[in-house]
Amino acid sequence: MDKIIRSICYFSKNNLEEIPHKLASIEQKLITAGYTIQTKRICSPSTIKTLNSLQAPNTLLSAGTLNKAQIRDQFEDFLQAKNVSFNVELCGSDTIDAYYSDLLFELIQRDASKTFNFTYVFNNRHSSPFFPSAAYHHDGFSIGLQSTDLAKDCTTLDEWLEKMHLCWTEINQLFGSNPDFLGIDSSVAPLFSGNSSFIHFVNKLHPNKSFPSTTTTDFYLTITKFLKTQNPKPIGLCGIMFPCLEDFALAQAYEENQFSIERNIFLSLHSGLGIDTYPIGINEKKERILEIMSLMKGLAEKYDKPLAARFISDGKAKIGQKTDFNNPYLKDVIIKPL
């Protein structure tokens, strides 16, 4: 099996300088067990400025969830930071007003690459190792896989699910006695093309169906139920991600008008994870963003689901134009209106 860890994330409030050594120890234990490690991460309620000064090479950083006051105080630091992410929670007492859409478009105007490091969250779950949705709750570490690659030689859905379960069980055995081990986020986190693409696997299992037609079957519900009920130590989101620009087969479906924002939101009700790396033009209407965020908030509250909305811009492309992200994790596409 191609056993790939997408993220080892350590959550820590204090003594951040000790965390890179702890991550290295966890990484080595997983490598010895045959896993490939893609990223190590740290999420802390420390300030963005503090995180940016941390000596942690090859480590992604997150300040977790920030409120309005914290965003105002740290926004300039965020623009200057190298690899720090954060999110803003929109469920709760705050109304979704123009401040939040203005925040997105200020990022687009001043440094559009930062849209990759920022997301709106709704009814978020703490301790997910996936950025930028990660949120600090208490100290410890969680692990998330790139489980799409486990499907490489699978010809049925059950084969893939069983391979996932074997990995979860193995990881739980490796760290189950460690009091700092928070759990496994069993989310499906696709990336790029071929065996790493979730839509590639969907198409392989359904050669006589189009991707859109699969969305009105129980295929995704079957996967989500397994992710939530068979994980021996669940933490975080535990759903299917549909990152429009990171899963290159999904980006192609988007360009072919098969992955509209409506279909993305509909699939969010299957999987519970929301809008991810979805492209928007610099001339998209702010009012449209607010409408979508209000809907996501309502759905998250109605169905008690964690949802997110991460919109991506290159700072130049308008609706109808092709993007130029200059980011290896994002596929360039011709932007559609929301």
Query: Does residue 335 sit within a domain?
Result: no
Domain count, the chain: 1
Alpha-carbon distance values, 119 to 101, 132, 167, 268 (Å): 12, 6, 29, 15
Q: Which residue range(s) make up the domain with 244?
A: 4-312
Q: Are 256 and 245 in contact (CB under 8 A)?
A: no
Query: Does residue 283 sit within a domain?
Result: yes
Which CATH number characterizes residue 213's domain?
Answer: 3.20.70.20
Paired tokens of 43: 């999420």
Reported pTM: 0.95
Alpha-carbon distance values, 309 to 38, 234, 247, 254, 275 (Å): 24, 23, 16, 16, 4
Query: Does residue 331 sit within a domain?
Result: no
Query: Does residue 318 sit within a domain?
Result: no
Query: Does residue 334 sit within a domain?
Result: no
- Work out the number of other CB atoms within 10 angstroms of the CB of residue 239: 25
Taking only the tens of pLDDT, the chain with its 338 residues reads 899 999 999 999 999 999 999 999 999 999 999 999 999 999 999 999 999 999 998 999 999 999 999 999 999 999 999 899 999 999 987 789 999 999 999 999 999 999 999 999 999 999 999 999 999 999 999 999 999 999 999 999 999 999 999 999 999 999 999 999 999 999 999 999 999 999 999 999 999 999 999 999 999 999 999 999 999 999 999 999 999 999 999 999 999 999 999 999 999 999 889 999 999 999 999 999 999 999 999 999 999 999 999 999 999 999 999 999 999 999 999 999 99
